[in-house]
Structure 1
């Protein structure tokens, strides 16, 4: 698989997902991650960008088992195979509960589930909480941040992890 394919797909996702005018296109890249399986095989990318006063992430995956998968930002920028537990827990700089229905709002690491189609590919675009400057400071703190794909869907309720199962792919977020 060409490493350019997921990057192109992620950029295309930014261009197509919800953009209705040129003003909706990203102003500035914040960072990116190459997402890989435990064997080191790259399976996708995450692109972080600033769109006006919003920080957005666009993820493109290929080569993942079809179905719905939880995907989260994790608090440590480390992806040691085979289980990626080196990425630690979910990114939660505001000390909130997990899940989109959590009182007081979800934590920063919560992202919507990503659906992988029968062909093994899927995309996700989501706005992140906080201003672009806050997001930069959270992503690129002293120990960095990882983006992790899980084997099962996030239930959007169970604290702190969404009951989304094993960590099956991981990427360290690097500044642009």
Structure 2
């Protein structure tokens, strides 16, 4: 009898403690729900940009989408009309793409005054990017991380600096060391980076 009574008391204790913690949990969940809603409401939209790629005749040949990520800016590029093989790909310092030579885009984006090239001990430029590869039909689709730039305005390495910036595809591959542009040949496709 004494044992049954002890079990009964223990079971009642468990029920009471469970009910109290459930009640507290409900309040906590409601408060957390409010906190979550507030957090969601305060989240900023990811910083993004785009570029319309044109060829030396001024014709649209592709697009690029840019998105701010933790490590820099992710660039998703698609373009056609290229020669098959590897091509130098860079961010240039001015927001102008005047065909046919795209010299209006200036040199590589280089806010830290480095030399060109990933294989250069005095480099690279912030605008130096990995080569991209066009297939046998001259089509390229690539995802490239630009880890030395940002889409945040007001920063020294922002792609939205005064005067703007561009994306550039060259006719040949970038050797990652020759000055000033990796011996990557002519500028064959250009796109102004815009919001």
Q: Which has the higher helix share?
A: 2
Secondary structure in 2 matching 1:111? coil
- Residue 151 of structure 1 aligns with which residue? 171
Query: Equivalent of 2:94, from 76, 80, 88?
Result: 76
Query: Equivalent of 2:57, from 23, 39, 44?
Result: 39
Secondary structure in 2 matching 1:94? coil
Query: TM-score, normalization: structure 2?
Result: 0.70
Larger radius of gyration: 2
Are residues 1:165 and 2:167 paired?
A: no
Alignment of 1:132-151 (within 5 A): 132=150, 137=155, 138-151=158-171
Query: Equivalent of 1:129, from 140, 147, 155?
Result: 147
Measured at CA, do residues 130 and 69 of structure 1 come closer, stay the same or move farther in structure 2, by a change above 3 Å? closer
Deviations 1:87-146 (Å, cap 9, x if unpaired)? 000000111111111215411111111110002211222222246455874211111001
Are residues 1:89 and 2:116 paired?
A: no
Aligned residues: 149
Query: TM-score, normalization: structure 1?
Result: 0.77
Higher relative contact order (CA 8 A, sep 6+): 1
Alignment of 1:49-128 (within 5 A): 49-128=67-146
Mapped contact 2:126–2:149 kept (Cα < 8 A): no
Structure 1: which 4+ aligned runs deviate by more than 6 Å? Answer: none
Q: Tell me how far apart the structure 2 counterparts of residues 43 and 129 of structure 1 sit (CA, whole Å).
A: 26
Q: Which has the higher strand share?
A: 1
Q: Which runs of 5+ in 2 are unaligned?
A: 1-44
Secondary structure in 1 matching 2:104? helix
Mapped contact 1:71–1:110 kept (Cα < 8 A): yes
Measured at CA, do residues 136 and 39 of structure 1 come closer, stay the same or move farther in structure 2, by a change above 3 Å? farther
Measured at CA, do residues 74 and 164 of structure 1 come closer, stay the same or move farther in structure 2, by a change above 3 Å? same
